[in-house]
Amino acid sequence: MPDTIIIYEKNNAIVNAGFESRKLISLDIEEKQDFFRNGNVYVGHINKILWHLKAAYVDIGMPDDCYMELKEGFDYLTDKDHPDEELHVGDDIIVQLIKQPLRKKPATVCPAIEIDGRLAVVKYMGEKQNTEVCFSSKITDKKFKNELSSILSPAVPTKMVALLRTNAVSASTDEIVADYERGHRLLENIISLNGKRTKGSLLYEAPPKYITKIRDSGKLECKKLITDSPDIYVKLKDYLNDYRQDLLPVLSFYTDEQQALENIFDMVKNLTEITSEKVWLKSGAHIIIQQTEALVSIDINSSKASAEKKNFKNGFLELNLEAAREISRQLVLRNYSGVIIVDFINDKNTPAPLFMRELEKVFENDKRTQVVDMTKLGLVELTRKREDEDISSLIKKYKLISK
């Protein structure tokens, strides 16, 4: 959990960096003026339907058409009503952008529109029967669930669903209801525009990441929230005033013209490390991280640490776990995804099951990463769920460091 967050603008990008004791632990980079942001809702135009693949290709104004999975029995928000109640090429349809294009894969849109709040998510499900109020899997209090279900169920219309987030447990009933109603009004407004806007129209703009990170972090207790952008400062202040007044005292506007905010926190050095293959560890060992089309390969080298032979008389467990902790940090910072193969130092003194259990503890805080298995050759396989573009590509795209 970061104790300090800085947000600054550079070369049409917004950089959101989180630090713990001056060490970078989280990083987001987004375009300052981003018309195609995940979560945005558009009027799309159906250019192609592949019924055998249950897929359609939708034009929302991006360079290439977006992929959309077809849903059986779904009541699509289209501009035309057909006797067969099916989608047709040429229809305009309301969709939400949920995944950016990556390499050769197109962007993904979804006809189920959702509005995320701090406490509740309101979603158009497109089903023709009433749906119940749902709860985060982390909410186990039956009394709480029964009480909120009885309050919200009458307010949830047909074809919609309300999902209460984990944050709701620590909120009052009035706050939860207000958050739901806010999302419901936004969603109803989007639906009311069905058939009234043309292809490519933006119907709803999702908040920028520096807002959603605060919104989605229920336990965020940073001591400093700093920005040098007047526009970002105003937006943050307005959001915190409405939703997180507890964080208002830590928000500050950086005004020192002698030294840029990014320099105070050595961002060029930090970003350079993220784009480098070699990362040094405190022990003197280092890891090599290489990204390919098929996977990410990581190798651990004892390097300078091997000079102290006494450190390894009981095996390489401590060194391997130090490397694992840094790998976990680097995967988060670099936003790598897919299959990740790690070649740890061969350690005959540590049983493989014990080592794998220790690895699971290291990666447990990164919900997107899963420790899969160890191969017969001793290689550890990880998988990491994809979310947006990897950070190194964004650093290069916006020229955030000079090389």
Confidence (pTM): 0.88
Question: pLDDT of 140-180, one tens digit each?
Answer: 999 999 999 999 999 999 889 999 999 999 999 999 999 99
pLDDT for the residue 204: 97
Asked if 144 and 81 count as a contact pair (C-beta separation under 8 A), the reply is no
Q: Residues 277, 290: contact at Cβ < 8 Å?
A: yes
The strand pairing partners of 6, in sequence order, are 17, 226
Query: Quick one: the chain helix, strand, coil %, rounded to 5?
Result: 30, 30, 40
Whether residue 344 contacts residue 358, with contact meaning beta carbons closer than 8 Å, is answered with no
Domains for the chain: give ranges and CATH numbers. 4-32+210-265 (3.30.420), 35-207 (2.40.50.140), 276-391 (3.40.630)
Which amino acid makes up residue 340?
Answer: I
Six-digit token string for 315: 């095996």
Query: In the prediction, which pLDDT does 221 show?
Result: 79
Helix (H, G, I), strand (E, B) or coil at 138: coil
Per-residue pLDDT of the chain (403 residues; tens, 9 = 90+): 899 999 999 999 999 999 999 999 999 999 998 899 999 999 999 999 999 999 999 999 999 999 999 998 899 999 998 888 889 999 999 999 999 998 788 999 999 999 999 999 999 998 766 577 999 999 999 999 999 999 999 999 988 999 999 999 999 999 999 999 999 999 999 999 999 999 999 999 999 999 999 998 877 779 999 999 999 999 999 999 988 888 999 999 999 989 999 999 999 999 999 999 999 999 899 999 999 888 999 999 987 776 555 556 566 899 999 999 999 999 999 999 999 999 999 988 899 999 999 999 999 999 999 999 999 999 999 999 987 789 999 999 999 997 6
- Identify which of 18, 35, 6 has the alpha carbon closest to the alpha carbon of residue 100: 35
**Which run of H or of E encompasses 394?**
helix 391-397
pLDDT digits (tens, 9 = 90+) for 77-109: 999 988 888 899 999 999 999 999 987 889 999
